Each structure stands twice: as C-alpha cells, then as structure tokens.
C-alpha cells in the first residue's frame, strides 16, 4: 500500500528505512532543527564531560531494601540520583546534571503529555561475581534510543555521550545499591526522552528532556520454573504494523497493549504473544522477542532450527538480547552447515541447529507441536532475560512446549556468564565494565 505524499514530504521517511537514511545524514547533530537560516553556527551537542553533579547529603540517602523486600514487586523504588539534560531548538543541548532523584516539573501543555513524544530504553547494570560492575552491549541501547527519538521528532545526540552519562550514574549509585561484596544484584536503567515544549499545537517539539534513572526490580526471569504461559493475540488486534513504529521503543507502543496484557494476566497467562495479520504471523511476546526450536519435516531435511521473527517488516523490536542470542547460537552451537562446529566445546553433545530469521505463523508452531517436532520456545529481553515458554494458548487450544530446554539453557548460561562475569566469560567484549572511580 502506498500513501500520497503529504505537503511535499516523502512519507517513506516515517518507515524504518527512512529513519535509517535520516540518521546517516543528520545524526549525531540536532537533526534538521532549522534549515532556513544560512549556515547557522552548530548548536551545542550533548556533552557528558560537562556533567554538573549535586550529590544527595549522606543523611538523606535512602535505605537500601533487601532483595526479599516484598515492596520491590511494585517496581517503585529508585536509587538516590538521576541525570537530566535539556535541549531546545535554538540553544541545543545544555550541560547535563546529576542530582537527587525527584519529580519533574512539566507544563500541563507539554508535548509528551498529549502527543506521545516519548521514548525510552531498558538496560541493566550487574554486580558481577568478580566484583566488577557491568553493562551488557550498552552502545546498542544508546543507538536504539537515537532511532526512537528520530522516529518521534525528538532531537538527535551522539549515542556515546548517553552511554557516558549512564556509566556516570551507575558509578555514582552502584557503590551503595550494588555493594561489591553482594554479587548477583542488579539495577534496571531507564533512559527516557520527552518532548517538553509547553505548546498545545500539534508540531515537532522545540524543547526536550533526556532523563536517566535507576530502579530496583525484583528478579523477573522465570528461568528455573516450568516456563511462562503465553496467550496468542486475537485476530482483531495487532501491536504493530508495516510502516508503523513497532521497531521503535516509543511509549505509544505500550499503553495501547495494556488492556490485552491485563486480560491475559487475569486469565492466568504471563504475556500476550502478538500475532500479525490473517495468517497469524508470530512477532513477539510482551516486551520480549520470541524464539522456537523445532525440527523441520523429514521431507525438508528433518533438521533442527532456532527460529525467530525477522526484522524486515519493522513490526518487531530489534532486541539486544535477541541479536545476542542469534549471534551466540551461530557462533557457539554446532551449525548444520558449518564444519567448524563446537569450537570451544561449550555446545558439545548438542545436535547441530540452524539459526533462521524469517516470517513464520502460529499455525506452523501448532503443526510442529502436533507432529512432535516442537522442542523448545523462549522469550528474550532485558527485563525477563531468557524465559522458557511452557505453553501457548491459541484459538482455544493449549500448545504445550515439551522440550527439556537444552538449547534455551545453553544460550542462557552463555549470556549469564557475560553479564555477571563468571564461568570463563569475564573478558567477553559484550560486557562493558563501568569504571566506578570515574564519574565522567
């Protein structure tokens, strides 16, 4: 379906590939703020080295909750500090600040409160078993934040500056909140960008706020249990559509999904598995990507495959965990075509598995289950990590995932080692060690 151009602008600029093109030419500068003035001096960029820190006085620091504190399930607990940086279209980025975590002041007219000019990231900072503080591939989250801001007309920024700010906040608060002698604790990092201009007109906001805070979350991964229960979405609802913005982590994707998610919880399911279109194309589950391990039919070779939705249609989020699962599986699991299988011996004893990113349907999963070819399913994401799927409710039937989870378990162990610095994965390049002595 092609739509007519609006006001001479190319509508394709709204698609994922359009944003990719825009990023090539605009980022990391302030993406076409004003193009009418003849070569204006460049506006100040976001610059982490200008960070101004105002620390909370020792007497006012919050008590650290124990990991078993039941209030943590409410996910309301922040650490002591937060980072903010303001942008406006005439003066660019101002110096970022680190100060006490506190409510924001926003005009009731603020763009984000009306027009969903809001996007975010979700990451974790881990206190490793070797005492080090680590982020997991954080540059990917910062680049994705830039894609999301660009999609909703919020300003661009150099992603590496956001990473420096994230590291600064972690270095400030992790000493107390993730003590070095308590390995295995983590904090959830939430960078968010808001359109803050106080003007009711429907237009590109001329003011924005980048805000980063750390939250204390309970452990959400249902890893050791029998697995999570998914409810496949009804034919009359979709989370995202081609040409839309499902690929961006914008708030506008989440509010409208909460009615379905609430209903799933009431009916005893953990998440919605979002399908797309009449054929029931499998996309992702809640705020996690989705994988299956199945065997192809004998007529198609009877080989094992690890399958997940491809990104081409732009209806699935490009998860950092998803990407990492794919890369690890290709590198560490014996592949059906490669001869250099099992280099480190980690995946030894496992049958070769082919990693496939493609469009696949719920009926294909149902057929595989019915024919005894479905082995495993799991969801992947920062919040739930790698969680095995026990069953999927689809058109009145429960599709039970029978497998023992050997591939799920293998991939989860590799990622756990990288994130928490253990089992020989301490030096892996995906683990970003935060220098706790250096704030910026």
Instruction: Please identify, among the stretches 62-70, 166-174, 375-383, 430-438, the one whose residues bind ligand PLP according to the rule CB under 6 A.
Output: 375-383
Strand partners, 357: 308
Provide the mask over 246-285, with x wherever binding to ligand PLP is found by CB under 6 A and - wherever it is not.
---x----------------------------------x-
Least distance (Å) between residue 179 CB and ligand PLP = 25
288 scored as a contact of ligand PLP (CB under 6 A): yes
Tell whether residue 317 is a contact of ligand PLP (CB under 6 A). Answer: yes
Stretch that binds ligand PLP, among 4-12, 55-63, 202-210, 378-386 (CB under 6 A): 378-386
The position carrying tokens 């001479």 is 8
Chain positions 382 to 401 lying near ligand PLP, rule: CB under 6 A, are 382
Among 319, 405, 421, 431, binds ligand PLP (CB under 6 A): 319
- Which residue number, 92 or 319, has a Cβ lying nearer to ligand PLP? 319
Judged by beta carbon, residue 214 or residue 317, the one nearer ligand PLP is 317
User: Among 250, 320, 328, 333, which residue interacts with ligand PLP (rule: CB under 6 A)?
Assistant: 320
CB neighbour burial string for 53-92, b if at least 16 within 10 angstroms, e if fewer: eeebeeeebeebeeeeeeebeeeebbbbbbbbbbbbbeeb
CB of residue 105 to ligand PLP, shortest distance in Å: 28
Residue 230 contacts ligand PLP per CB under 6 A: no
Residue 189 in contact with ligand PLP, rule: CB under 6 A: no
151 makes contact with ligand PLP (CB under 6 A): no
419 binds ligand PLP (CB under 6 A): no
- Of 42, 47, 49, 48, the closest CA to residue 91 belongs to 42
Distance CA 293, CA 160 (A): 36
DSSP helix/strand/coil, 248: coil
Select 110 or 328, whichever has its Cβ closest to ligand PLP.
Answer: 328
**DSSP sequence for 304-336:** EEEEE--STTS-S---HHHHHHHHHHHHHSPPS
| Integer Cα distance of 113 and 93 in angstroms | 21
Residue 78 in the binding site for ligand PLP (CB under 6 A): no
- Judged by CB under 6 A, the chain residues 110 through 129 that form the site for ligand PLP are 122
| Eight-state DSSP code of residue 19 | H
174, exposed or middle or buried, with CB in 10 Å at 0-12, 13-18, 19+? buried
Count residues binding ligand PLP (CB under 6 A).
Answer: 14
Q: Within a 13 Å sphere around the CA of 125, how many CA atoms are in the beta-carbon half?
A: 31
CB 272 within 8 A of CB 265: no
- Comparing C-alpha atoms, which of 126, 120, 128, 158 is closest to residue 30? 158
19 binds ligand PLP (CB under 6 A): no
Residues forming the site for ligand PLP (CB under 6 A): 122, 249, 284, 287-289, 317, 319-322, 380-382
């Amino acid at each position: 379906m092609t739509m007519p151009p609006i006001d001479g602008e190319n509508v394709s600029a709204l698609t994922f590939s359009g944003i990719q093109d825009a990023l090539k030419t605009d980022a990391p500068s302030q993406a076409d703020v004003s193009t009418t003035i003849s070569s204006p001096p460049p506006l100040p960029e976001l610059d982490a080295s200008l960070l101004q820190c105002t620390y909370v006085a020792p007497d006012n620091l919050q008590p650290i909750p124990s990991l078993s504190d039941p209030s943590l399930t409410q996910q309301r607990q922040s650490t002591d500090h937060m980072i903010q940086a303001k942008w406006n279209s005439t003066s660019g980025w101002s110096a970022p600040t680190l100060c006490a975590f506190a409510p924001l002041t926003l005009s009731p007219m603020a763009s984000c409160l009306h027009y969903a000019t809001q996007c975010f990231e979700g990451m974790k900072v881990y206190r490793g078993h070797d005492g080090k503080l680590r982020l997991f591939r954080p540059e990917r989250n910062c680049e994705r934040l830039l894609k999301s801001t660009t999609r909703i007309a919020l300003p661009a920024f150099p992603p590496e500056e956001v990473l420096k700010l994230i590291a600064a906040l972690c270095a400030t608060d992790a000493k107390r909140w993730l003590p070095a002698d308590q390995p295995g604790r983590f904090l959830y990092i939430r960078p968010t960008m808001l359109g803050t201009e106080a003007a009711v007109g429907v237009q590109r906001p001329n003011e924005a706020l980048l805000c980063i805070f750390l939250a204390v979350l309970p452990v959400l991964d249902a890893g050791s249990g029998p697995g999570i229960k998914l409810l496949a979405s009804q034919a009359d609802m979709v989370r995202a559509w081609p040409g839309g913005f499902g690929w961006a982590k914008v708030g506008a994707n989440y509010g409208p999904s909460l009615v379905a998610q609430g209903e799933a919880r009431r009916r005893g399911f953990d998440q919605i598995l979002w399908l797309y279109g009449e054929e029931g194309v499998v996309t992702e589950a809640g705020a996690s990507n989705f994988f299956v391990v199945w065997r192809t039919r004998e007529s198609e070779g009877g080989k094992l495959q690890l399958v997940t939705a491809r990104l081409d249609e732009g209806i699935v989020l490009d998860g950092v965990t998803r990407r990492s699962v794919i890369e690890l599986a290709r590198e560490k699991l014996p592949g059906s075509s490669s001869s250099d299988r099992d280099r480190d011996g980690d995946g030894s004893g496992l049958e070769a598995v082919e990693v496939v990113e493609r469009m696949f349907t719920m009926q294909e999963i149902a057929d595989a289950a019915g024919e005894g070819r479905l082995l495993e399913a799991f969801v992947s994401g920062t919040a739930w990590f790698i969680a095995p799927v026990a069953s999927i409710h689809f058109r009145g039937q429960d599709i039970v995932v029978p497998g023992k989870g050997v591939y799920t378990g293998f991939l989860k162990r590799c990622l756990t080692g990288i994130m928490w610095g253990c089992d020989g994965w301490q030096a892996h390049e995906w683990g970003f060690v935060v220098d706790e002595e250096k704030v910026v």
